[in-house]
Amino acid sequence: MATPRTLINVPAARSGEIIEIRATIAHVMETGLRPDDQGRVVARDIVTRFECRLDGATVFAADMFPAVAANPHIAFRLRAEKPGSLVFLWEGDRGFRHTETVALKVT
Amino acid sequence: MRAAVLRWSVGASRVLGALGGLGALGALGALVLSACVSHIGSTPVEAAPVNLLNTDTRRAGFADMSTALQAMQQDDTLNPAILWVREGEALWSQAPASGPSCAGCHSSPTSQSQTGHPSASIQTAATRHPAFDGTLNKPVTLAGRVDLCRQRHQNLKPQDADGPEVLALSAWLMHQARGLPITPPPDPRLTAWTQRGEQLYGARMGQLNLACTHCHDQYAGQRLGGAPIPQAHPTGYPTYRLEWQKLGSLPRRLRACMTGVRAEPFATGSDEWVALEGYLMTRAAGMTLEGAAVRP
Amino acid sequence: MKPLNAPTTRRKVMAAGALWLLAVRPAQALDAPLQQAIRAWAGSATPREGRVTLTVAELIDNGNLVPLTVHVASPMTPTDHVQEIMLLNERNPGRELARFQLGPANGRAEVSTRVRLATSQRLVALARMSDGSVWQHTVEVVVTLAACIES
């Protein structure tokens, strides 16, 4: 797929509530250790970095290694104070880069 | 306690005469296999019939999974298969350069827009395939139907059931029909095909000389090398199989079974796959579709 | 006297084996490469047991996708919070699983992800606090593989 599919869940929150944000991205996470049908090792191709920024400030980040499962999934917590804009960023091998923007709804 | 890291080395197995050719595994394997009916876990999830005496002993593979995987499947914010369902949803309303979008023809009459709400026929399509195709004069599976539509009406290249767009659209269609009962069409033209499928299901094959029925009827509910043996109902296909690390079709799973008994799998797109799928759907008639599922 | 292959006797023998696996093994020292990886991340701080809870199912359906959750007891205030969580393993080709950076904005130090585990082994979750202290938790998991090998 040209644009990797993502599955992001940001629940609506009351001010001060700690919510769980879930983010999954379609990515093969090729470890660089696996032989193909001809016995040649398939080159490593993984997502290496995930960041979540709220109104520009990083609120959570992750470094991923080949041991992270395919279609990497991360869930983390956020204390929702006021409405804002969440930007999710994934970066990886071979210049992989993808961002999604999701509104944080806070009442 | 289940045995840790018990691997079935298919190439090194011998036939165990008493068990009708299940193959020798070594002492521990034999212990695991011999008559130990393990407690698989939770109650079946398909809707029970209305009668008070529930004599339907069928259970979906969902019931044989760990609670963690069941929870993963049932939460659309956790289920990795949803990545493909989303892809299918996008393809549904996107017109390719070569023809109309799926939504252009298959939307409900109340909204004729390109991104229309899927018609009732589309929402239930996964419950009633394989269905007979008059032009080909043979049944086609759901994936086959999607591929034919893409070829005939959108001028797109053919794909098999695991082709990227066909797989994504199949996942989306299956998700549309989540919660509905499998309802094979009462079409007499399908009878001979269903019978052929039943024949294949009961035919010994491969170096291990086993038929589907041996594991999935006789030994269903017991364990094979630590893994529970399901009854093999196609209630959750295409499925996100952890072993594949992606979504895959029913033929892909059946190919793995044939390889598992050291048989040469039928060629991709061959009539045997359609016949088998038709039989499996008939065998599972009335069971509830799970949507795009997760399996170990 | 029941025969040795009777179901309950067999279960007792296997249960005893599992108890040994789960009870005795975590007390044994971690393999040297894993200890080295812990030291490399922890730096001059000596990890202490506690405050960190790594939750993984004891029996894994398939090593290709193993869900886990790590929680660290912390008020997550600007002056007292978790800065970084490190997940390491003993038996994969590489020691690292994942590393997470947190801060007071999280409100709660809890992260879930899915990893690949090559075989049954011990996993270690470490947390570095804003005061520089490092805490750890070690768990043992059993990984089963698919019964039939696909081509």
ipTM of the complex: 0.96
Q: How many CB atoms lie under 10 A from the CB of residue C29?
A: 7
- Chain B CB contacts of C144 under 8 Å are 2-6, 225-227
* Strand A84-92 relative to strand A96-104, pairing: antiparallel
Decide if pLDDT at C148 tops 90. no
pLDDT digits (tens, 9 = 90+) for B281-296: 999 999 999 999 999 9
pLDDT digits (tens, 9 = 90+) for A63-77: 999 999 999 999 999
Give pLDDT, residue B41.
40
- Chain C CB contacts of B2 under 8 Å are 59, 142, 144
Domain C31-143: homologous superfamily in CATH? SoxY domain (2.60.40.2470)
Decide if pLDDT at C5 tops 80. no
- Chain C CB contacts of A78 under 8 Å are 105-107
Tell the residue number behind the tokens 């009462």, with chain if given: B186
pLDDT category at C48 given cuts 50, 70, 90 is very high
Q: How many CB atoms lie under 10 A from the CB of residue B275?
A: 25
**H or E element, residue B201:** helix B191-201
Q: Strands, DSSP E only, in chain A?
A: 6-9, 17-25, 47-54, 57-64, 73-80, 84-92, 96-104
Give pLDDT, residue C19.
57
Cα C71 from chain centroid? Answer: 12
From A2, which residue of chain B is nearest by alpha-carbon distance?
B87
pLDDT digits (tens, 9 = 90+) for C84-110: 999 999 999 999 999 999 999 999 999
- Chain A CB contacts of B82 under 8 Å are 7
Cβ separation C102–A78 shorter than 8 A? no
pLDDT digits (tens, 9 = 90+) for B111-142: 554 457 899 999 999 999 999 999 999 999 99
Decide if pLDDT at B31 tops 80. no
Give domain status of residue A1, yes or no.
Answer: no
The stretches of chain C forming alpha helices (DSSP H) are 7-19, 32-42
Tell me the shortest Cα–Cα distance from C70 to chain B, in angstroms: 16
Cβ separation A24–B83 shorter than 8 A? yes
As given in the structure block, the two tokens for residue B232 are: 């093999």
Cα-based distances in Å from A42 to A29, A30, A46, A59: 11, 7, 12, 34
Give the closest of A9, A28, A29 to B77, CB-based: A9
From C66, which residue of chain A is nearest by alpha-carbon distance?
A69
Count of domains forming chain A: 1
Give the closest of C92, C98, C105 to A64, CB-based: C98
From C12, which residue of chain B is nearest by alpha-carbon distance?
B1
Main-chain phi, psi angles of A78, to 5 degrees: -145, 130
Query: What is chain B's percent helix, strand, coil content, to nearest 5?
Result: 40, 10, 50
Give the closest of C65, C119, C150 to B5, CB-based: C119
Contact by Cβ (8 Å): B30, B213: no
pLDDT category at B269 given cuts 50, 70, 90 is confident
Give the closest of C105, C109, C115 to A54, CB-based: C105
As given in the structure block, the two tokens for residue B272 are: 């045997």
Contact by Cβ (8 Å): A46, A92: yes
Decide if pLDDT at B176 tops 50. yes
Give pLDDT, residue C137.
98
- Domain B13-76+183-295 sits in CATH 1.10.760.10: yes
Extents of the domains making up chain B: 13-76+183-295
- Chain C CB contacts of B226 under 8 Å are 144-145, 147
The one-letter amino acid code at C97 reads L
Give domain status of residue A69, yes or no.
Answer: yes
Per-residue H/E/C for B151-189: HHHHCCCCCCCCCHHHHHHHHHHHHHCCCCECCCCCCHH
Region A72-94: mean pLDDT is 98
Tell me the shortest Cα–Cα distance from A28 to chain C, in angstroms: 12
Give pLDDT, residue A31.
96
Cβ separation A1–B164 shorter than 8 A? yes
Longest CA–CA span in chain C (Å) reads 66
Determine contact: B268 vs chain C, CB below 8 A.
no
Pairwise CA distance, residues B35 & B289, whole Å: 31
From C59, which residue of chain B is nearest by alpha-carbon distance?
B2
From A30, which residue of chain C is nearest by alpha-carbon distance?
C116
CATH code at A84? Answer: 2.60.40.10
As given in the structure block, the two tokens for residue C69 are: 């959750």
Tell me the shortest Cα–Cα distance from A75 to chain B, in angstroms: 10
**Alpha-carbon Rg of chain A, whole angstroms?**
16
What's this model's pTM, rounded to 2 decimal places? 0.85
Q: How many CB atoms lie under 10 A from the CB of residue A91?
A: 15
Pairwise CA distance, residues B72 & C47, whole Å: 33
Q: Across the strands, what pairs with C72?
A: C52, C109
- The chains in contact with chain A, meaning 3 or more Cβ pairs closer than 8 Å, are B, C
Determine contact: C106 vs chain A, CB below 8 A.
yes
- Chain C CB contacts of A104 under 8 Å are none
**H or E element, residue B260:** helix B250-260
pLDDT digits (tens, 9 = 90+) for C62-88: 999 999 999 999 999 999 999 999 999
- Chain A CB contacts of B83 under 8 Å are 5-7, 24, 26, 71
pLDDT digits (tens, 9 = 90+) for B62-113: 999 999 999 999 999 999 999 999 999 999 999 999 999 999 999 876 555 4
Q: How many CB atoms lie under 10 A from the CB of residue B49?
A: 11
Contact by Cβ (8 Å): B99, B155: yes
Tell me the shortest Cα–Cα distance from B110 to chain C, in angstroms: 43
| Nearest residue to B135 (alpha-carbon basis) of B151, B123, B124, B119 | B151
Most B-contacting residue of A3, A7, A100 (CB-CB within 10 A), to test interface: A7
Give the closest of A20, A58, A62 to C99, CB-based: A62
Least confident of A81-85, B92-96, C20-24: C20-24
pLDDT digits (tens, 9 = 90+) for C115-135: 999 999 999 999 999 999 999
Give domain status of residue A20, yes or no.
Answer: yes
| Nearest residue to C85 (alpha-carbon basis) of C65, C106, C60, C63 | C106
Please report, rounded to a whole number, the percentage of residues in chain C having pLDDT higher than 70. Answer: 78
| Nearest residue to B197 (alpha-carbon basis) of B149, B134, B251, B241 | B251
| B141-177 core/surface letters (b: 16 or more CB in 10 A; e: else) | bbbbbbbebbeeebebeebbbbbebbbbbbbbbbbbb
| Nearest residue to B274 (alpha-carbon basis) of B141, B133, B105 | B141
The one-letter amino acid code at B18 reads A
Decide if pLDDT at A10 tops 80. yes
pLDDT category at B8 given cuts 50, 70, 90 is very low
As given in the structure block, the two tokens for residue C129 are: 């606090």
Q: How many CB atoms lie under 10 A from the CB of residue B86?
A: 19
Decide if pLDDT at B11 tops 50. no
- Chain A CB contacts of B80 under 8 Å are 7, 24, 71, 73
pLDDT category at A90 given cuts 50, 70, 90 is very high
Give the closest of A62, A65, A77 to C110, CB-based: A77
pLDDT digits (tens, 9 = 90+) for B197-245: 999 999 999 999 999 999 999 999 999 887 899 999 999 999 999 999 9
Helix or strand or coil: residue B286? coil
CB pairs under 8 A, 24+ apart, for B230-233?
Answer: B230/B59, B230/B60, B230/B61, B230/B64, B231/B58, B231/B59, B231/B60, B231/B61, B232/B61, B232/B280, B233/B58, B233/B59, B233/B60, B233/B61, B233/B280, B233/B283, B233/B284, B233/B287
* Strand C59-60 relative to strand C134-143, pairing: parallel
Parent domain of A41:
6-104
From A37, which residue of chain C is nearest by alpha-carbon distance?
C151
